[in-house]
Amino acid sequence: MTHTQALEVASAGLLVTAVLVLWRRELPVTIRVFAVQGVALALLVGVLAAGQDSPELLAVAVGLLVLRAGVLPALLRRALAGAGQERAETRPVVAGAEAEKTVAVGTSLLVAAALTLLAYAISQPLVALNPSPATRAIPVGVAVLLIGFFVLVTRRRAVSQLVGFLLMDNGITAVGFLTMSGLSLIVELGVSLDVLLAVLVLRILTARMHETFGDTDLGELRELHD
């Protein structure tokens, strides 16, 4: 497999997993899909490291694999268990799914297609500045960012919104590496620690919400406020 083909495979993995988050509403499945996207992101950075013969960038790829495919999904699973949703994995679609969704699955997939086209349209000027296999993958990172934002604003459960936030972060990270030929190790570690801290804080807030209100459906909490 050539360097260009490897980049295309990693980019396709990022985009497909983002779309799968919209398609599959069961929270345990969504977390597994997010873990797979972490593998695709680490593969993308690893391919860039191989192309640049950069040991530092390869170390960042390994760190991303551990954090995005291991640590963060594990924290999400703990948040899900703390919210009383872990049993949903063995239930029918109604339980554990985003049953109170505000946007239907079909509509979500159409929006994802529109956002992907938008990402390619707005990224073309940037790609045209320096055409290369890496820059041609930039629209995929932008699409993942937009899809993550869509998940964040349309899902009602706190854990689902947290997945949307992390999708956005994966998209931003991918665009950063593709446009700057790799961020420095210190910068990436700083960003990763910020994300990890945000997840830990949201994990605590999710558990507290469940203890206080008995659920993590933010729509119901808004109704209580009204």
pLDDT for 90: 40
Residue 49: its pLDDT value, please? 87
Radius of gyration of the chain (CA): 18
How many Cα neighbours within 13 Å face the side chain of 148?
23
Largest CA distance in the chain: 57
CB 149 within 8 A of CB 187: no
The amino acid at 160: S
57 vs 14, 42, 126, 132, 214, CA distance in Å?
19, 10, 23, 19, 44
Written as one letter, the residue type at 87 is R
DSSP 87: G
**Measured distance CA(23)–CA(36) in Å, rounded:** 15
Number of structural domains found in the chain = 1
pTM of full prediction above 0.85: no
Domain extent, residue 187, equals 3-225
In angstroms, rounded to a whole number, what is the distance separating the alpha carbons of residues 109 and 152? Answer: 15
Q: What are phi and psi for residue 221, nearest 5 degrees?
A: -65, -35
Task: Identify the CA nearest to 163 among candidates 32, 43, 42, 13.
Answer: 32
CA–CA separation, 169 and 206 (whole Å): 20
Question: In angstroms, rounded to a whole number, what is the distance separating the alpha carbons of residues 32 and 86?
Answer: 13
pLDDT at 37: 96
Q: Are 208 and 201 in contact (CB under 8 A)?
A: no
Judge contact between 90 and 29, C-beta under 8 A: no
Tens place of pLDDT for every residue, the chain, 226 residues? 788 899 999 999 999 999 999 888 788 999 999 999 999 999 998 998 888 888 888 888 888 898 889 988 988 888 777 665 444 444 444 444 554 456 788 899 999 999 999 999 999 988 888 888 888 899 999 999 999 999 988 887 878 888 888 899 899 888 888 887 545 555 555 556 656 666 666 666 666 555 555 554 545 544 545 5
Give residue 203's identity as a one-letter amino acid code.
R
What is the reported pLDDT for 110? 94
